[in-house]
Structure 1
Amino acid sequence: MASEDDGIPLNAIRAFVMIAREGSVTRAASALGATQSSVSRYLAVLEEYLGTDLMERRGRRNELTQFGRLFANTVAEPLDTVCFTAKRMRRRNRPEANRLVVRTSLPTFAYSLLIPNLQAFSAEMGGVIVDVISSLSLPTSSDQFDILITRDLSVLEPADDWELYNEQLVCVGSPNHVAGKALSVIRSMPILNITSRPDILPTWLRAMNLASKDIKSGARYDHNYLALPAVMTGKCLLVAPEIIVSDLVRRGILHIIPGSRTPSGMHYRAYAMDRSGNPELARAFCRWVARLCKKATVVETD
């Protein structure tokens, strides 16, 4: 057993807190960017230091012991405080202070609207560099980003937030196939399915007083940005958020079927994290995105 004079294994404590949060050694290793064996070794080191088991086998799963839960709950918040403070101080002294990291759970929004306009924001702000990362997973305190743009992820950390867009759904198709046609065209042309947004089509059908039997089901795509080329070039339809097709509609590449617009009940939001190394710039970015979304929304009479 380790003596009281031995150094406190801080890396092992950090690894154990991640195990407690993620619920397994495997997921903790993934979150830390480490190997499963190294995280297991950290767990063993900490158990040796504390002189007791922190996890126990229950059936086919490993779970925290009562002592393990108490220890994790006690040290997690102070550890977060230390990590946040260290990150702030490190960023403050970095030569790349004029840089932002934007994380989003909206890859098509980033692809179709955000990224094409980033150069304008950079020029407006004197050459700021904006890194964009996309993830559908729930953010954790160990993730490094200044801004979160999302529709469906909650933020537990302190942050300022802006509502960007009250999502409107529209049914679109190639002008060659749908121009001049009414909503009844959906009975003769297949509608593509987006597996990352299984809520969209049922929500839209209910609003249109239709059932799944009233439409032709088309091919499946993971994300809207993968489906857009298909609907632009093929004889098929797509029900999508209006904001991600607005530029294509303005350019005449896609056409909104009259009478197909309806709210989805979802809201896009931007969060400027308090732990950002450049909070004022992060808030300026969120205000800029809010203006961009307002400008991008298609105003078209059905």
Structure 2
Amino acid sequence: MNTKERLQILYDTELKPQLAEMEKMRRFVKRWRAFAITSLILAFLFLYSDYVVLRILGGAGFFAGAIYAAVLALRTYNKYHKQFKTEVVRKVVHLINPDYKYNSAKHIEVYEYNKAALFKCKAERCIGDDLVFGKIDKTPFKFSEVKTQYKTTTTNDEGKKVTEWHTIFRGLFFFAEFNKNLEGQTFVFPEKDRTVTNFLGKEKEESRIHGELVKLENPEFEKIFSVYSTSQQEARYVLTPLMMEAIVTIYNTFGFKMYFSFRGENVFCAIPFNRNLFEPSIKRSGVNFRDVEEMYMLFGLIKTLVQEMNLNTRIWTKSWN
């Protein structure tokens, strides 16, 4: 039985009935959220009435109604969200591998993210959820959705300090133990990434912080990715022909923009997304196999990365317990 058949059986026998039952909560949230928004609009309209009584009674009444509706919607949404994570997301993760650990509230820590050194700015805080961790054969890994940020502090015209948070990366972030403690560091960027090249395709001066440009002997890989390393020799040691073929296969299969770094004893991978993942929808029905299938594919990407990149073949000199 292939993975899609197993997922379809899980969906038909367990997930679909649960999602259908949870649909009542989704509709409740959607209805009361709409009522809250409508009441708030009406409250503001009454505030502009020419009649004092209407301004007081109408404005206050609809404003109170908006608060009541918002509280009802929020309470129900929190229940819906928790149940979705427990009853749906957790089961999808366990279908991939029952030994994986899943925590809907936790995420990759900021110090773990900064170890990758993939982006120019160092993160000062990390927000996220849906942490998955465990081992694939002998390879420990962690994986979660994250949004990383750095802050700037300026002084406004009134002399007050203003702190702003700026997003560096938003998406899926994964790391696993590599099968050697590397002395240098090697980075793999999307070829069209404008943070390392200009519009003419020439590398920017600031990209040199990642080392020298490395030319490799895989034309298809070179069309998709650019490689920078502090050691030309070690970059070729890491990015073997099989490793490059595996990364190209992953790219061709999923079509995601991917960033890799090989540093110390870890391989890191960052995949940008501009939307929340693994979250229940309020706008449309949650009884949808395609949503579950996408969730399975994204979580299953961990296993694909480790296996395709051959991390479990420990051919180098590092000793393992």
Q: What interval of TM-score do these two structures reach, taking the shorter chain for normalisation? A: under 0.3
TM-score, normalised to structure 1's length?
Answer: 0.25
TM-score, normalised to structure 2's length?
Answer: 0.24
